[in-house]
Amino acid sequence: MENKKMCLALFSGSLDKLTAAGVILSGAVADDMDVDVYILLQAARAFKKEIASNKDEIMLAENPHLRNEFFESLRRLNVKEWQDFFKDAKSISNVKFHVCGLAGKIWGGEKLDDFIDIADDIVGIGEYITAAQEADVHLFI
């Protein structure tokens, strides 16, 4: 039997939503799903190498004043950072990360090397639309 497919559209580049996407991605991988993650608009900024490596650059989407409390809770609960969720999922399953070409350009990312190492390619929005239509599960975060 063929694995089910998930299409995860990652619009937000906020720390809380990136972490939530990582948890969801881990669950999908544990359920043997093939996952295509499309990095859209603000998420493309978070995936840029110089942003992803600087924790001070990424805020919480809602209640930004709770940022330090969020970080402390992650440390206390020994929860991985968002990038580690993504790297681990990619290393053990069929997970692909696609950066939207326009989104990348908005934030100065013109080539694949501008983004963190888990990014597989830069694509047009049509590829995302097709993947969403063909997926068994489609989520937009």
Per-residue model confidence as pLDDT tens digits over 29-87: 999 999 999 999 999 999 999 999 887 777 877 788 888 898 899 999 999 999 999 99
pTM (2 d.p.): 0.93
Report pLDDT for 1. Answer: 66
CATH label of the domain that carries residue 116: 3.40.1260.10
**Per the structure, how many domains does the chain have?**
1
What is the residue range of 77's domain? 5-140
CA distance 77 to 38: 28
